[in-house]
Structure 1
Amino acid sequence: MRFLLLLSVMLVAGGCSMSASEVQTKVDWVDTVCWNGHKYILDQDFGEAEADEKLGEVSFSLVGSEEENNPTYQLKDGEATFASPGSTIQSVAGIPVEEALLVEDNVYTTREE
Protein backbone atom coordinates (compact mmCIF):
# COMPACT_ATOMS: atom_id res chain seq x y z
CA MET A 1 0.00 0.00 0.00
CA ARG A 2 2.80 2.41 0.86
CA PHE A 3 4.39 1.60 -2.47
CA LEU A 4 1.24 2.67 -4.36
CA LEU A 5 0.99 5.87 -2.32
CA LEU A 6 4.65 6.69 -2.98
CA LEU A 7 4.25 5.91 -6.69
CA SER A 8 1.17 8.17 -6.89
CA VAL A 9 3.02 11.06 -5.21
CA MET A 10 6.00 10.64 -7.55
CA LEU A 11 3.77 10.65 -10.64
CA VAL A 12 1.92 13.79 -9.53
CA ALA A 13 5.14 15.60 -8.60
CA GLY A 14 6.83 14.55 -11.81
CA GLY A 15 3.94 15.88 -13.87
CA CYS A 16 4.27 19.30 -12.25
CA SER A 17 7.91 19.89 -13.05
CA MET A 18 8.88 22.47 -15.69
CA SER A 19 11.58 22.17 -18.29
CA ALA A 20 14.22 24.89 -18.65
CA SER A 21 12.45 26.25 -21.75
CA GLU A 22 9.20 26.70 -19.78
CA VAL A 23 10.73 28.77 -16.97
CA GLN A 24 9.74 32.43 -17.22
CA THR A 25 11.70 35.33 -15.84
CA LYS A 26 10.14 38.47 -14.37
CA VAL A 27 12.46 41.46 -14.57
CA ASP A 28 11.89 44.66 -12.57
CA TRP A 29 13.26 47.52 -14.66
CA VAL A 30 14.39 50.93 -13.41
CA ASP A 31 12.84 53.89 -15.28
CA THR A 32 15.74 54.70 -17.59
CA VAL A 33 16.47 56.57 -20.83
CA CYS A 34 19.65 56.14 -22.87
CA TRP A 35 20.93 59.09 -24.86
CA ASN A 36 24.25 59.90 -26.49
CA GLY A 37 26.14 57.17 -24.66
CA HIS A 38 24.75 58.07 -21.23
CA LYS A 39 22.21 56.28 -19.04
CA TYR A 40 19.70 58.57 -17.30
CA ILE A 41 17.49 57.43 -14.41
CA LEU A 42 14.18 59.02 -13.39
CA ASP A 43 14.87 61.55 -10.63
CA GLN A 44 11.65 62.01 -8.67
CA ASP A 45 13.35 64.45 -6.28
CA PHE A 46 14.48 66.88 -8.99
CA GLY A 47 11.48 69.19 -8.82
CA GLU A 48 10.29 71.52 -11.57
CA ALA A 49 12.35 71.78 -14.73
CA GLU A 50 12.10 73.94 -17.81
CA ALA A 51 12.61 72.32 -21.19
CA ASP A 52 15.28 73.81 -23.40
CA GLU A 53 15.85 72.30 -26.86
CA LYS A 54 14.57 69.13 -28.49
CA LEU A 55 17.33 66.54 -28.80
CA GLY A 56 15.38 63.65 -30.30
CA GLU A 57 12.66 61.11 -29.60
CA VAL A 58 12.38 57.78 -27.80
CA SER A 59 12.65 55.10 -30.49
CA PHE A 60 11.81 52.01 -28.40
CA SER A 61 10.18 51.22 -25.06
CA LEU A 62 11.37 48.06 -23.34
CA VAL A 63 8.31 47.46 -21.14
CA GLY A 64 5.60 45.92 -23.26
CA SER A 65 8.07 44.65 -25.87
CA GLU A 66 9.30 41.11 -26.54
CA GLU A 67 12.49 42.00 -24.64
CA GLU A 68 10.71 42.97 -21.40
CA ASN A 69 11.59 39.73 -19.60
CA ASN A 70 15.09 39.45 -21.02
CA PRO A 71 17.39 40.26 -18.07
CA THR A 72 20.42 40.63 -20.37
CA TYR A 73 18.87 43.26 -22.68
CA GLN A 74 20.99 46.42 -22.93
CA LEU A 75 19.28 49.68 -23.86
CA LYS A 76 20.69 51.51 -26.88
CA ASP A 77 20.74 55.26 -27.56
CA GLY A 78 17.22 56.61 -27.90
CA GLU A 79 15.65 53.70 -26.03
CA ALA A 80 13.80 53.77 -22.71
CA THR A 81 12.42 51.27 -20.26
CA PHE A 82 9.04 52.98 -19.71
CA ALA A 83 8.79 56.18 -21.81
CA SER A 84 6.63 55.72 -24.89
CA PRO A 85 8.12 55.60 -28.39
CA GLY A 86 7.83 59.03 -29.97
CA SER A 87 8.23 60.86 -26.65
CA THR A 88 10.34 63.98 -27.03
CA ILE A 89 13.78 63.97 -25.41
CA GLN A 90 14.75 67.51 -24.38
CA SER A 91 17.58 69.23 -22.61
CA VAL A 92 16.85 70.91 -19.28
CA ALA A 93 17.37 74.69 -19.22
CA GLY A 94 20.56 75.61 -17.37
CA ILE A 95 21.82 72.03 -16.93
CA PRO A 96 24.37 70.27 -19.18
CA VAL A 97 22.86 67.46 -21.30
CA GLU A 98 25.42 65.05 -19.81
CA GLU A 99 23.72 65.54 -16.42
CA ALA A 100 19.96 65.70 -17.11
CA LEU A 101 17.21 65.19 -19.71
CA LEU A 102 13.50 65.88 -19.81
CA VAL A 103 11.22 63.13 -21.21
CA GLU A 104 7.41 63.17 -20.87
CA ASP A 105 7.69 66.02 -18.32
CA ASN A 106 9.96 63.84 -16.14
CA VAL A 107 13.56 64.67 -15.32
CA TYR A 108 16.13 61.93 -15.80
CA THR A 109 19.62 62.42 -14.39
CA THR A 110 22.91 60.57 -14.70
CA ARG A 111 24.35 59.01 -11.59
CA GLU A 112 27.86 57.99 -10.69
CA GLU A 113 28.26 54.20 -10.93
Structure 2
Amino acid sequence: MKKIMGLALVLLIILIGCSSKTDNQKNQQSSVEWVDVVKWQDKKYYYNEKQTNTITKDDIGKEIGEITFTVVGSEEEKNPNYELKNTEATFIGKGTKIYKINNDENVDMIYIQNKVYTIK
Protein backbone atom coordinates (compact mmCIF):
# COMPACT_ATOMS: atom_id res chain seq x y z
CA MET A 1 0.00 0.00 0.00
CA LYS A 2 2.86 2.37 0.83
CA LYS A 3 4.38 1.69 -2.59
CA ILE A 4 1.13 2.56 -4.34
CA MET A 5 0.73 5.77 -2.31
CA GLY A 6 4.35 6.74 -3.01
CA LEU A 7 3.93 6.07 -6.72
CA ALA A 8 0.69 8.05 -6.80
CA LEU A 9 2.42 10.97 -5.07
CA VAL A 10 5.29 10.93 -7.58
CA LEU A 11 2.84 10.83 -10.51
CA LEU A 12 0.85 13.70 -9.01
CA ILE A 13 4.00 15.83 -8.67
CA ILE A 14 4.99 15.08 -12.27
CA LEU A 15 1.51 15.95 -13.56
CA ILE A 16 1.43 19.22 -11.62
CA GLY A 17 4.86 20.16 -12.97
CA CYS A 18 3.84 19.40 -16.56
CA SER A 19 0.57 21.26 -16.18
CA SER A 20 2.17 24.44 -14.86
CA LYS A 21 4.81 24.37 -17.59
CA THR A 22 2.10 24.17 -20.24
CA ASP A 23 0.23 27.09 -18.64
CA ASN A 24 3.40 29.19 -18.65
CA GLN A 25 4.01 28.39 -22.30
CA LYS A 26 0.46 29.51 -23.17
CA ASN A 27 1.07 32.87 -21.49
CA GLN A 28 4.31 33.54 -23.36
CA GLN A 29 3.99 35.66 -26.49
CA SER A 30 6.38 35.32 -29.36
CA SER A 31 7.61 38.40 -31.12
CA VAL A 32 8.64 38.35 -34.77
CA GLU A 33 10.33 41.26 -36.47
CA TRP A 34 9.50 41.30 -40.15
CA VAL A 35 11.57 42.99 -42.84
CA ASP A 36 9.88 44.88 -45.68
CA VAL A 37 9.66 42.14 -48.30
CA VAL A 38 7.39 41.05 -51.16
CA LYS A 39 7.26 37.66 -52.84
CA TRP A 40 6.72 37.85 -56.59
CA GLN A 41 7.18 35.04 -59.14
CA ASP A 42 8.89 32.75 -56.61
CA LYS A 43 11.48 35.41 -55.67
CA LYS A 44 11.74 37.61 -52.59
CA TYR A 45 12.11 41.33 -53.20
CA TYR A 46 13.39 43.51 -50.38
CA TYR A 47 12.85 47.24 -49.92
CA ASN A 48 15.87 49.09 -51.34
CA GLU A 49 16.11 52.66 -50.08
CA LYS A 50 19.04 53.54 -52.34
CA GLN A 51 17.19 52.47 -55.51
CA THR A 52 14.01 54.18 -54.28
CA ASN A 53 15.88 57.48 -54.02
CA THR A 54 17.07 57.25 -57.65
CA ILE A 55 13.81 56.19 -59.34
CA THR A 56 11.80 58.64 -61.46
CA LYS A 57 8.25 58.46 -62.81
CA ASP A 58 9.69 57.64 -66.24
CA ASP A 59 11.30 54.51 -64.78
CA ILE A 60 7.97 53.04 -63.64
CA GLY A 61 6.53 50.56 -66.12
CA LYS A 62 3.27 48.72 -66.49
CA GLU A 63 1.26 47.10 -63.72
CA ILE A 64 2.19 43.43 -63.35
CA GLY A 65 0.16 42.33 -60.34
CA GLU A 66 -1.13 43.15 -56.89
CA ILE A 67 -0.59 42.14 -53.28
CA THR A 68 -3.04 39.46 -52.12
CA PHE A 69 -2.07 39.12 -48.44
CA THR A 70 -0.28 41.18 -45.79
CA VAL A 71 1.46 39.39 -42.91
CA VAL A 72 1.59 42.26 -40.42
CA GLY A 73 -1.86 42.66 -38.93
CA SER A 74 -2.85 39.07 -39.75
CA GLU A 75 -2.92 35.91 -37.63
CA GLU A 76 0.45 34.98 -39.14
CA GLU A 77 2.23 38.07 -37.76
CA LYS A 78 3.47 36.22 -34.66
CA ASN A 79 4.33 33.03 -36.52
CA PRO A 80 8.14 32.95 -36.97
CA ASN A 81 7.83 29.97 -39.33
CA TYR A 82 5.45 31.64 -41.79
CA GLU A 83 6.75 31.59 -45.36
CA LEU A 84 5.53 34.17 -47.83
CA LYS A 85 3.66 32.91 -50.87
CA ASN A 86 3.62 34.59 -54.28
CA THR A 87 1.96 38.04 -54.27
CA GLU A 88 2.24 38.33 -50.48
CA ALA A 89 4.03 41.05 -48.52
CA THR A 90 5.03 41.72 -44.96
CA PHE A 91 3.84 45.36 -44.78
CA ILE A 92 2.33 46.38 -48.14
CA GLY A 93 -1.48 46.28 -48.00
CA LYS A 94 -3.69 43.82 -49.84
CA GLY A 95 -4.78 45.17 -53.23
CA THR A 96 -1.71 47.38 -53.69
CA LYS A 97 -0.49 47.32 -57.30
CA ILE A 98 2.93 45.98 -58.32
CA TYR A 99 4.71 47.70 -61.22
CA LYS A 100 7.57 46.68 -63.46
CA ILE A 101 10.62 48.92 -63.72
CA ASN A 102 11.32 49.96 -67.33
CA ASN A 103 14.52 48.57 -68.90
CA ASP A 104 14.69 45.78 -66.28
CA GLU A 105 14.20 42.72 -68.51
CA ASN A 106 15.08 40.23 -65.73
CA VAL A 107 12.59 41.85 -63.32
CA ASP A 108 15.25 42.24 -60.64
CA MET A 109 13.35 45.28 -59.34
CA ILE A 110 9.68 46.02 -58.80
CA TYR A 111 7.93 49.22 -57.77
CA ILE A 112 5.22 49.26 -55.10
CA GLN A 113 3.73 52.17 -53.21
CA ASN A 114 6.53 54.66 -54.02
CA LYS A 115 9.24 52.13 -53.11
CA VAL A 116 11.64 50.00 -55.10
CA TYR A 117 12.08 46.36 -54.10
CA THR A 118 15.05 44.37 -55.34
CA ILE A 119 16.20 40.76 -55.24
CA LYS A 120 19.11 40.27 -52.83
TM-score normalized by structure 1?
A: 0.79
Contact 1:38 1:110 in 2 (8 A): yes
Q: Distance in 2 between matches of 1:85 and 1:65?
A: 11
Query: Which stretch of the first structure deviates more once superposed, 38-47 or 95-104?
Result: 95-104
Rounded to whole Å, the distance in 1 between the matches of 2:113 and 2:106 is: 16
Report the equivalent of 1:41.
Answer: 46
Shift of 1:68: 0.5
Please show how residues 53-72 of structure 1 align to structure 2 within 5 Å: 53-72=62-81
Cα pair 1:91 1:97 within 8 Å, conserved: no
Gaps of 5+ in 2: 1-22
Please, which runs of 5 or more residues in structure 1 have no aligned partner?
Answer: 1-17
Structure 2 CA distance for partners of 1:97 and 1:33, relative to 1, 3 Å: farther
Distance in 1 between residues matched to 2:117 and 2:106, nearest whole Å: 10
For residue 26 of structure 2, give the secondary structure of its aligned residue in structure 1: helix
State the partner residue of 1:83.
92
Match of 1:92 in 2: 101
Structure 1 ranges of 4+ moved more than 6 A: none
Question: For each residue in 1:34-55, what CA deviation from the matched residue of structure 2 results, as whole angstroms up to 9, or x when unmatched?
Answer: 0000000000011214211111
**Match of 1:19, SS?**
helix
Query: Which residue type is aligned with residue 79 of structure 1?
Result: E
CA RMSD of superposed structures (Å): 1.5
**Aligned residue-pair number:** 95
Q: Conserved in 2, the CA contact under 8 Å of 1:38 and 1:98?
A: no
Equivalent AA in structure 1 for residue 50 of structure 2:
D
Q: How far 1:19 moved relative to its partner?
A: 1.1
Q: Which has the larger radius of gyration?
A: 2
Identical-residue share of aligned pairs (%)? 34
